[in-house]
Structure 1
Amino acid sequence: MATRSPAPPSPFDTLSRSILPIPDPVYVGLTTYDAKDPDTSFPPIKALRPPTKAPNVLILLVDDAGFGSSSVFGGPCHTPNFEKLAAGGIKYTRFHTTALCSPTRQALLTGRNHHSVGMGAITEMGTSAPGNSGVRPKNKAPLAEILKLNGFSTAQFGKCHEVALWEVTPVGPFNQWPTGSGFEHFYGFVGGEANQYYPGLYEGTKAIEPDRSPEDGYTLNNDLANRAITWIRQQKALMADKPFFVYYAPGATHAPHHVPAEWSDRYKGRFDAGWDVLREETFERQKQLGVIPADAQLTARHDEIPAWDAMDDALKPVLARQMEIYAGFMEQTDHEIGRVLDAVRDLGIMDDTLIYLIIGDNGASAEGTINGCFNEMATLNGMPGIETVEFLRSRIDDFGTPKAYNHYAVGWAHALCTPYQWTKQIASHWGGTRNGLVVHWPNGVEAKGELRHQFHHVIDIAKTVLEVCHLPEPAIVNSIAQAPFEGVTMLPTFTDPKAPENHRVQYFEMMGNRGLYLDGWTACTRHRTPWKADAPPPFDDDVWELYAPDDWTQSSNIVDQDPKRLADLQRLWLIEATKYNVVPLDDRGFERVNPDIAGRPQVITGNSQLLFQGMRVTEACVLTLKNKSYTVTAQVTVPEAGADGVIITQGGEYGGWTLYCLQGRLKYCYNFFGIEHYITTSDSDIPSGDHQLRVAFKYDGGGLAKGGDVTLFCDGTQIGKGRVEQTQPMGYSADEACDVGGDTGSPASPEYGNTGNRFTGDIAWVQLDIGEDNHDHLIKPEDRLKLAMARQ
């Protein structure tokens, strides 16, 4: 397909676009009685288009990648497609994010600071405070909505982590989902991370399953690229004159670090020398590339991050393997993004496409603990200690495979943020917020392989896109008066490497870590680190640091030399924080997971819940059964051939529970982080016909994560008894569903696979009940009706 040729000026160039949707034109003129009358004449209908000079826009966002991760910025991960894109465009060496995924993404998609759009942290930690609510204000319309209403085709692929937790349901509301936020098409997942082998996928707002299994070669990275390529080709085949806006955010390289061995094996032995050597090697490459100055200083490793030589020698092979897998994951991500870029080239539209490649929505992730982990859910549940060195060594060959849910150690995260201090979540320092950026647009950026050193922030992208597309910031969108964008344009730097710096001031804050940039100066304070579980200090006890404009890496704290300047910057930080809803500061961790404490809505309340066959819902949509006694009752019809398959399951291979039948017998499996599987089996087969099957779990009590006794019932009669020694206190999974009638994700029990596990009979309903009861009674239809009415 040929490049979209320059079009002559059109009526679309003179449209008033400050009010969106653009009002329909009203015809005023002669109206005839008969359409065959020679005087019958109406202006032809024209499909809305942007101004004629508007290019296609493609934003590519890599996840959890530090400044020193990709080879295009001196890192160890081979990324030839990123390098090729940079060789044909420009690289920004002082581009910044927010230090965490949801906030960066909402800031990117709206052109406003993250607290301004309610995203002070990830959606799962939303509170009732305006800056942390997880709800995008209606007066801050997203970029996709603005572009769509100006005539762009719009599509999003991959990760969406901007939907409030209580809105991730099959029945909405969907106004914050991609298709409710300006994207006409969405294919991807909703949440913080996805299993690369068993993702919880949506097309639009409909839950779907992958078309292949991991055994057939499925990975999410490959699937997303295929979908994006198909959509882009189709869009240009049908509407070649209509530019597109594609937001491609694959969720890689966020944990779990999943990648086929063909990618990770390319790095065998490359990291045996450890993370301290890796930092030094990366630092030298960065100087050679010019992405840091020749006189830049490598920042010191903080005492909270252990030296490689201090690590247990028995663990080092596991640690090296963790990094090999991550590097392979990054290279696979580069390959799949390269396929999308090749599709754009093959269509002949590369010159007319503005591409932003953002290598990381924050610094590299230090959420994997000092030793790294085989199952990240153990860490997220506050139980990293269950994975001993011996356990990690025993699973070394499973890292990166469908059997693992792995994450690398803190030391690797720090090394991948070279040359800066700290990591993801730590918004005070550049290690958490400075990310590599590549801009490529042959029709607007003539520079090839040049560097740009102006300070910019992710909120600047939306403003720049509108300017490039000759579109104004709208005054009204969907009848709502709009607040102004909070970023600045990057357009002057596209053509002038010495363009004056126009992003003069920027606040940073995440979980109490905070900083301020002003005309080269930075003031910052690290309040907490993500791998330490101890309570952070009072905010007023935080120790602030000061760095001068010529200190590229924030390596030399000069607070003692200029206390007045620090005081001025601290005051300015507070002004900015007040302006953008940053206060009240909130450094709570696990407490914010509890919706009652956080003050956010809950999808499910009360002590009972009904579910029906075919339902697939997220963990937030299910009654919380953790750390308490409960029963699960299912009304089923067993066929003559006997019962097989899953009745109900929650979670997956890395933690959860499932009630199922196998070879005619009723079974309950509690999966403790994939480490232990406590399976209770009925003493006899379930006969054919209609039955109420039930599992009762009697919690031991006395705190979190305790065990309990399991009893199985059929029609009120006890048919089996077992024991669960320990349970997961906070969450089963980050992305697995609760399924009725099958297990659509990874298998929660080792006794069945991820395919062919659907229940062979019929399920009328499943009821969850919290608390102990006389488990021998049957639930009558009128009882269920009362329950349903009580929930209205």
Structure 2
Amino acid sequence: MADVQRSTLPIPDLAYTGTVTYDATDPDTHYPPITPIRPPDGAPNVLVVLIDDTGFGASSAFGGPVQTPTFERIAAKGLKYTRFHTTALCSPTRAALLSGRNHHTVGMGGITEIATSAPGYSSLRPNNCAPLAETLKLNGYSTSQFGKCHEVPVWESSPMGPFDHWPTPGNGFEYFYGFIGGETNQWYPAIYENTSPVEPWGTPEEGYHFMGDMTDKAIGWMKQRKSLTPDKPFFTYFAPGATHAPHHVPVEWADKYKGKFDQGWDALREETFARQKALGVVAADAVLTERSPGIPAWDEMSADLHPVLAREMEVYAGYLEYADHHVGRLIDSLEEMGELENTLVYVIIGDNGASAEGTMKGTTNEGFVINHMDAMEDDAYMIAHKDELGTPQSYNHYAIGWAHAMDTPYQWTKQVASHWGGTRNGTIVSWPNGIAARGEVRNQFAHVIDVAPTVLAAAGIPEPSAVNGVTQRPYEGTPMNYSFDDGDAEERHTTQYFEMLGNRAIFHKGWVACAKHKDPWLGSSHGLDEDVWELYNVEEDWTQSHDLAAEHPDKLAELQRLFLIQAARFSVLPIDIRSAERFNSEIAGRPELVKGTSQTLYTGMKRLSENSVINLKNKSFTITASITVPDAGAEGVLIAQGGSYGGWSFYAHEGGLRFAYNILGIKTDVVSGDAKLGAGEHEVRAHFAYAGGGVGKGGTVSIYDGDDLVAEGQIERTLPFMYSMDETVDIGEDVASPVSPDYGPRDNGFTGSIGWVRLDAGDDDHSHHADPDHLMTIAMTRQ
């Protein structure tokens, strides 16, 4: 289809201009055959694998301690890029990857939960920046996405959409199987198939894990495409939750690393650095940077806690190798189908640096951090629960020291866009039919916005000038194809800005000027003008180890000015370092999905995120349900919010009504009514009277059957900020992990019928007592 014009998409249908006959049997009757749209001849399949929260120094392919044989296998058939960069945070990197434009250009200057009305921070991709998947689909590709999607604006994230910014249909993918949000429980995930919530096929005890499930779905989709449309190349975006927290992995994979990290994170950095030099993925004269300020030395940690800390890293390592294993299954299936040789494979090992969002000593459950209840998780608690790390009984994250070690040899971590530890991610590119080089290293500067133009160049598809009637903004990335077969080619991506949460930098022709505004674990404490700028010659100083700001003030001033030019050009301004204000949707200018103090829900509604229902935290509330009890009596869940790691549930048990409040899996307060509900219609309610005096306080639960008080009891304390990272509100059942020990993860549905359930929030909200900086910590932990 070489004569097809592809600059305007969809490709216009051409009218028939030949002779029209009266009778179809007339010999002059002739119409050209229907020819489906297909890409240019030789266009490859495209597989983009994006690993989550994995630093440059984690994978063995780049000298790290975690064995990733699949990544090494792919690299042996292609190239390792040692100077490939991301944005320092999950959502912005993904938005940039999928659009070919800088993250602020497509409205993703931060995470969706703190979006504002400013163009660079709205979380809304403009329609003049059509995504890569849409361009490929309109050129005849089959398109699919599996795994994580955290680019949906929070007010569009319910099962009712709108779906303009979902993978399908808004982002150009014909099929989606994954989760909407920053993370999900890998044992009990919140999954969508296209735009409909679906449940996992099994429980952890039955062998279920989301990584295996999403891989099965991806392989099945590819085989179906091969069977039904073998002439259509595919674009598959495979984005596991691994290795973002929670670090959930089968115990046998974590046990492979027993004893491998007892030396601690400082010694591990030195070991990794030596391997990196031997592999040639850092310069021979590179310097190992010092431990970033604020990160404790291994020997400063309590010796009693060392076994717990080591186990955190064993679990993380097992999780990354487990992800590598499933990517290997995907690669094996492509090879079996005869597709691998003509597949352009990108493996981007991290959408940012390793995550320093797990506290100085890590956590068995992120809910402790989220809800400002760290004191409950003392050393003794962590030691007692060490063996639960990675299992369904945990929601774990590792210590900040391990994150820094995973970013060896660079300074800092995820969120810190000013330094390579936050933005430099080892990347592998393979295309046996299109790249002659095998097992080579490439050192040219590249950025995640370069992927989209590279794919189009490989496919022979022009960048579209108009899509769906909208004139398009040009791609802002640089195709990497020039470097595929020429390791010495002069680099073409010569200028790139970085900005995240005030941490900012500018790369230009071998120099970097940068200013770190805040640590990942702290809120913003000062104005932007108080930041200290640093200067590095990264042609001579691979790791940003020697600050030249004092020696070259003119060069620093030149680059600072260039940063401002780029910032104005790509909608970075105004840089937004606010915290509490961005959580107030009215101040931020962000729409709200749910308004008011009352909400009625109906049978069958489930997987409703915390953004989809009214907020019942730090205040009194009432839950009322209209139900019909069968002759056999009442049993099962009326409504639940959250799961085994935190939440509440209103349900029937052994014929009577109960209300359970789960505090981070440590303790569940249950208020029980002995009176059994008779057959027939009932209006039942549970009223929680908040004690007040701040956030996270307790109160009294009163349960009623009509006007009759059937139970009353105390809830010792409540969760002030979040019930769960990903578990949801469900009507008529409690999907995923159960809130209450009175029922299990399956077969807990209400045995009668439910007309409606109404939530009513009281007017005694104490949320204003929350620490604004902690609200920002919550958002960053979710990313």
Taking structure 1 as the reference length, the TM-score comes to 0.95
Aligned to 1:683: 674
- Give CA deviations for 1:123-162 in whole Å, capped at 9, x if unaligned: 1221111111111100000000000000101011111111
Q: Which amino acid aligns with 1:61?
A: L
Kindly indicate whether the alpha-carbon contact (under 8 Å) linking 2:98 and 2:133 is maintained by their aligned counterparts in 1.
yes
Aligned mates of 1:382, 1:529 — CA distance in 2: 18
Shift of 1:619: 1.2
SS of residue in 2 equivalent to 1:195: coil
Displacement of 1:535 in angstroms is 4.1
| Paired position in structure 2 for 1:321 | 311
What code does the residue aligned with 1:325 have? V
Query: Which one-letter code corresponds to 1:321 in the other structure?
Result: R
User: Contact 1:369–1:384 at 8 Å: present in 2 too?
Assistant: no
Q: Deviations over 1:397-432 (max 9, x none)?
A: 111011110000000000000000000011110000
**Separation in structure 1 between the aligned mates of residue 103 and residue 372 of structure 2, nearest angstrom:** 27
Residues 590, 758 of structure 1: alpha-carbon distance in 2 compared, 3 angstrom cutoff: farther
The equivalent of 2:780 in structure 1 is none
- Say whether the 8 Å CA contact 1:252–1:330 is kept in structure 2: yes
Kindly provide the amino acid, as one letter, of the partner of residue 285 in structure 1.
R
2: distance between equivalents of 1:384 and 1:483? 46
Give the aligned partner of residue 42 of structure 1.
31
The residue type paired with residue 346 of structure 1 is E
Per-residue deviation, 1:591? 4.7
Contact 1:647 1:763 in 2 (8 A): yes
Residue 207 of structure 1, CA deviation:
0.6
Q: Report the equivalent of 1:654.
A: 645
Aligned match for 1:699, one of 668, 690, 695:
690
Structure 1 residue 735 corresponds to structure 2 residue 726? yes
Q: For residue 83 of structure 1, report the CA deviation from its aligned partner.
A: 0.5
**2: CA distance between counterparts of 1:596 and 1:643?**
43
AA matched with 1:657: W
CA offset digits 1:538-559 (Å, max 9, x no partner): 1111111111131100011111
Confirm whether residue 440 of structure 1 aligns to residue 430 of structure 2.
yes
SS of residue matched to 1:207: strand
The match for 2:156 is: 167
Give the 3-state SS of the residue equivalent to 2:82 in structure 1: strand
**Runs of 5+ unmatched residues, structure 1:** 1-11, 774-792
* SS at structure 1 position matched to 2:296: coil
What is the CA-CA distance between 1:447 and the residue it aligns to? 0.8
State the Cα deviation string for residues 310-332 of structure 1 (Å, max 9, x = none). 00111111111110000000010
The 10-residue stretch of structure 1 (465-474 or 108-117) with the greater mean CA deviation from structure 2: 465-474
Q: What is the deviation of 1:611?
A: 0.1
**1:106 alignment counterpart:** 95
Partner of 1:564: 554
Equivalent residue for 2:67? 78
- Distance in 2, matches of 1:425 and 1:751, equals 41
Q: Does 1:118 align with 2:146?
A: no
Structure 1 pair 200–315 and aligned structure 2 pair: CA distance change class (3 A) = same
Q: Which residue of 2 aligns with 1:717?
A: 708
Q: Please give the per-residue CA displacement for 1:705-738, whole angstroms capped at 9, x wherever unaligned.
A: 2222111111022111111222222221221111
Aligned ranges for residues 506-545 of structure 1 at < 5 Å? Answer: 506-532=496-522, 534-545=523-534
Cross-structure match for 1:461: 451
Q: 402, 420, 430: which is aligned to 2:420?
A: 430
The 1-side partners of 2:579 and 2:417 are apart by 16
Mean CA deviation greater in 337-346 or 562-571: 562-571
2:771 is aligned to: none
Stretch moving more, 483-492 or 578-587? 578-587
Measured after TM superposition, the shift of residue 595 of structure 1 is: 2.5
Deviation at residue 575 of structure 1 after TM alignment:
1.1
Please say if 1:614 is aligned against 2:607: no
Please tell me whether the aligned partners of residues 535 and 547 of structure 2 are also in contact (alpha carbons under 8 angstroms).
yes
Give the total of aligned pairs.
761
How far apart in 1 are the matches of 2:372 and 2:482? 47
CA displacement, residues 361-397 of structure 1 (integer Å, 9 cap, x when unaligned): 0000010000101111222334333311111111111
SS of the residue 2:212 aligns to: helix
State the secondary structure of the residue aligned to 2:214: helix
Matched, 1:57 2:54: no
* Preserved CA contact (<8 Å) 1:370 1:531: no
Q: Is the 8 A contact 2:50 2:347 kept in 1?
A: yes
Partner of 1:134: 123
Query: What is the distance in 2 between the residues matched to 1:630 and 1:99?
Result: 39
Q: How does 1:193-272 map to 2 (within 5 A)?
A: 193-272=183-262
Partner of 1:748 in structure 2?
739
SS for the counterpart of 1:573 is helix
Q: For 1:24 and 1:706, how far apart are their aligned partners in 2?
A: 64
Give the deviation of 1:679 after TM superposition: 1.2
In the alignment, structure 1 residue 638 sits paired with structure 2 residue 591: no
Q: 1:247 aligns to what SS in structure 2?
A: strand
Give the 3 Å change call, closer, same or farther, for CA 592–750 of structure 1 in structure 2.
Answer: farther
After superposition, what is the alpha-carbon deviation per residue over 1:623-666, rounded to whole angstroms, capped at 9, x for unaligned?
Answer: 01111111010111111211111110111111111111111121
Q: Which amino acid aligns with 1:596?
A: E
With 104-113 and 511-520 compared, the bigger mean Cα shift is at: 511-520
Residue 772 of structure 1 deviates from its aligned partner by 6.6
Corresponding position of 2:321? 331
For the residues of structure 2 that align with 1:589 and 1:679, how far apart are their CA atoms?
A: 36
Distance 1:243 1:382 in 2: 49
Q: For the residues of structure 1 that align with 2:749 and 2:98, how far apart are their CA atoms?
A: 39
Residue of structure 2 in register with 1:476 after alignment:
466
Percent of pairs with identical residues: 57
Of 417-426 and 635-644, more deviation after overlay is shown by 635-644
User: What is the CA–CA distance in structure 1 between the aligned matches of 2:101 and 2:133, rounded to whole Å?
Assistant: 14
Unpaired segments ≥5 residues, structure 2: 765-783
Per the alignment, residue 292 of structure 2 pairs with 302
> Does structure 1 residue 287 correspond to structure 2 residue 277?
yes
Select 2:756's aligned residue among 760, 765, 770.
Answer: 765
Question: By how many angstroms is 1:594 displaced?
Answer: 3.7
Say what the alpha-carbon RMSD is for the aligned residues: 1.2
The one-letter amino acid paired with 1:508 is F
Letter paired with 1:203: E
Structure 2 distance, partners of 1:621, 1:106, is 23
Alpha carbons of 1:748 and 1:594: their partners in 2 closer, same or farther (altered >3 Å)? farther
Match of 2:381 among 391, 409, 421: 391
Q: Measure the CA separation in 2 of the matches of 1:595 and 1:454.
A: 42
- Structure 2 residue 366 is the aligned partner of structure 1 residue 376: yes
C-alpha spacing 1:517/1:601, structure 2 compared with 1 (3 Å): same
